[in-house]
Amino acid sequence: MSTATISEHVAQLGSHRCAYLACGPAQGPVIVFVHGWPELAHSWRHQLPAFAALGFRCIAPDMRGYGKSSTYSEHAEFSQEKIVADMLGLIDSLGLSKVLWVGHDWGSAVVWNIASHHPERCRAVASLCVPYMPGGLVLEQAIELVDRTVYPEHVYPAGQWEYMYYYQENFAKATAEFDRDLARTFKILFRSGSVNGTGQPSATAYTRINGGWFGEMTETPDLPIDDQVITEHDLAIYVEGMQDKGFFGADSWYMNHAANGEYGRRSVDGGVLTMPVLFIAGQYDYTCETINSRAKEPMLDLCKNLSQDVIKSGHWMAQEQPLEVNATLAKWLATEVADYWPKNA
C-alpha cells in the first residue's frame, strides 16, 4: 500500500470514540491536523497525502460531535478542556508523547490550548485563520479586538461575532436552520473568498439583525456548489458525516465561552508559547479578519517564536488554496522545525 493512501481508523478513548484518518509511513514524525466548524477530517484531504509523500505520518481526527466520532447531548461536553483531552488521549493511544499540531477555525482553538496547557506534548503548532489567545476562541476577548471602523458598536455590538451570541440566544432555531437541508447548508457555508468584501462587514455580523442565518426564510436557499472549495463528492461526504448527528454537537462548541475563558486562565507560563508557531492569515477571511484589525495583538506578545504568512484565500483555506497552504507549511517545517523533518526524506 502506498504511504500516501488515506486509511480510516478508530481509537476508543474510554467511553469516547475518536475516528481518524491516517496517511504516511508508520514511523514518520507525526503531524495531527485538527478541523473546525462545520468540517470533518476530510477537510484535510489535500494536506494528508502531500505531507505523507514528504515522509510525515499524518493524522486527522473527526472531532467530538462530528463524523464517525462520538457526540453528546449536553453543551458542556463540548468545552475546550474536554476536546483537548480527546486529542491527548488520541496521541496517547498511538504511543506518542509529542507531536506537531496544525489547526483551523475551532481546530485552531484546540491546538492553541494544547500548546498553552500541555507544551510538553507539542513540538510546534500552526494555525490557519485563527490567531492565538489564551482559552482559544473566547467571545469576550474576541469582541475587545473588533475593528470598530467596520463594525460600529451601536450597530454591531459584537462585531463579526454577532453570530456567536445568536447561538446562545436561539440555539435550537440556529441548529434547526442548518439541519433542515444539509446539502444546501454546506453549499452556502463552503464559499471561496473574494477581494470584494474588503472593508465590509462579514455576513456573520447580520445574524442577530436578520433574526437568523437565513432570516425569516423557511426554506434554505439552494446555491450552486463552489467547486473552488468542494466538489460534489466532497459535499456528499460532509452530508453523510452530519446526517445522523445533525448540527447539535458542532454548534455546541459555541456554547462554552465562560468555561473556555476560565480554562484559558489556567494556561501554564501565563499563556506564553516558546515552541515554534506559525500563523497563516486569510487575506479574504472577513470573519476571522486579521489583516487590518487588532486580532493578532495577543499573539504578537505571547508567541516568542512566531512566523507569519498571508494567503489570498477566504476562510476555508486548506480546501480553497491547498497548494499555497501546503507550500507555506512545508517551508516553515523545513526552516523553523528542521529537526522534525523526516530523516530519510
315 in catalytic set: yes
Consecutive H or E run containing 177? helix 171-179
The 8 Å CB, 24+ separation contacts for 294-302 are: 294/145, 294/147, 295/131, 295/142, 295/145, 296/131, 297/145, 298/131, 298/132, 298/133, 298/134, 298/141, 298/145, 299/131, 299/132, 299/133, 302/132, 302/134, 302/271, 302/272, 302/273
CA 288 remoteness from chain centre: 11
Determine the 3-state secondary structure of 209 from DSSP.
helix
The per-residue DSSP string of 31-49 comes to EEEE--TT--GGGGTTTHH
> Which residue in the list 42, 62, 75, 105 is annotated as catalytic?
105
Per annotation, catalytic residue among 166, 254, 263, 340: 254
Indicate if 16 belongs to the active site: no
In terms of Cα–Cα distance, which of 11, 59, 56 is closest to 33?
59
- Helix, strand, or coil here: 22? strand
Cα distances (Å, whole numbers) of residue 310 to 143, 289, 305, 306, 317: 23, 11, 17, 14, 11
Alpha-carbon distance of 41 to 53, in angstroms, equals 18
Q: Is 163 a catalytic residue?
A: no
Residue of 75, 104, 117, 315 marked active site: 315
Q: Decide if 231 contacts 49 (C-beta within 8 A).
A: no
HSE-CB at 242 with a 13 A cutoff on CA atoms is 27
3-state SS assignment for residue 334: helix
Establish whether the linkage from the previous residue to 119 is cis, with ω within 30° of 0: no
Please tell me the chain's helix, strand, coil percentages from 3-state DSSP, rounded to the nearest 5: 45, 15, 40
Distance from C-alpha of 241 to C-alpha of 248, rounded to nearest angstrom: 13
CB atoms within 10 A of CB 29: 24
Q: Which residues are catalytic?
A: 105, 254, 315
